[in-house]
Amino acid sequence: MGLKRSHAEMSGRSKQDAPADQAQSPYMPMFEAFRAELDEHHARREDIIKASRDITAASKKIIFTLQRIRKLKEPLPAHVVKTNADHYKIIEERFKTVAKHLQGINAYRYARQISGGCQEWMEAVSFQHYLVTGQLLSYEDSRVMLLDVSKDEEGKSIDLGPEDWVLGIYDMTGELMRFSITAMATHGLPTIPPDNTSDPASDSMDVDGRGGSSGQQRSVLTDMRLLRAALEGLDAGSGPFAKDAEKKMDVMRSSVEKVEKSLYGLIVRGAERPKGWMPDTNEGGRAVEVEG
């Protein structure tokens, strides 16, 4: 049985000489540059994913605290502001950390990685804005807010895409549903106090610049119906955004129907309900689980 010879020995080179010869290959620097670029890409991607998860977690805590509020169009209670201050600080720090990674073409390259955090942040700030003002937070105002929150020491910031704004508004309807059903147990359907103005049109929720109906007392349910009508008219086209919008559309419709059903039960059986009665939202309706 003969000895197996290496390729270097067969070509007249020793094993010690082989690495030195390989290092002289004109292709090695090129592939080393590719390796460095890929390592940088994966490290950048991991940083963005971690930041997005932290932003999502902090935003959920903000929403949980906001659900303790029972009155609309009033300043936030001091304990709510104090509790959420730390969560907003975490969000600001995480956005600033990854702002440098989301510049130029990289803003599109890593859009899917940061999208979850942007959507959850959008859900939190739009829900808070609605509780305080009774109005929908516009895309323009949301974009300015994120540009300001995410600006790092070098002046780089993150631009909010219209897709993340829309998907965040979809999710916000679920929080309006929870807010309404919880309030119905003690105070009835939440209504929006009118503004001290002689202009009837100002007492309406502005959706897409059209305003709402001023012929009836505004409530969270009327605003949810207005949002549903506006979002159902959205042409999402095709692609990942269209798939996400379709899923959230079903959840949004289910949220509106749950508030409607709870209000019907409150009106029909209101005189019979015991103290602390909560509307039943588990019967009938769309078989769609509302996201937590």
pTM here is 0.78
219 - beta bridge partners?
A: 191
Predicted pLDDT of residue 193: 82
Q: Residue 19 — very low, low, confident or very high, per pLDDT cuts 50/70/90?
A: low
Alpha carbon of 38 to those of 34, 44, 127, 139: distances in Å? 6, 10, 39, 35
According to CATH, the topology of domain 28-160 is Methane Monooxygenase Hydroxylase; Chain G, domain 1 (1.20.58)
Residue with tokens 């709402």: 212
What pLDDT does 2 receive?
55
Res. 268 pLDDT band, cuts 50 70 90: confident
* Residues near 154 by beta carbon (within 8 Å), at least 6 away in sequence: 100
- Per cent of the chain over pLDDT 70 is 76
> 285 falls in which pLDDT band (50, 70, 90)?
very low
* Spatial separation of the C-alpha atoms in residues 117 and 115, rounded to whole Å: 5
What is the per-residue pLDDT across 169-202, written as a single tens digit (0 to 9) for each? 999 999 999 999 988 887 778 888 887 654 444 4
**Average pLDDT, rounded, for the chain:** 83
Largest CA distance in the chain: 104
CB 103 within 8 A of CB 84: no
The pLDDT value recorded for residue 255 is 94
Q: Is 66 exposed, middle or buried (0-12, 13-18, 19+ CB in 10 A)?
A: buried
Q: State how far the Cα of 23 lies from the Cα of 12, in Å rounded to an integer.
A: 18
Number of H helices, E strands in the chain: 10, 0
- Domain coordinates of the chain in residue numbers? 28-160, 161-292
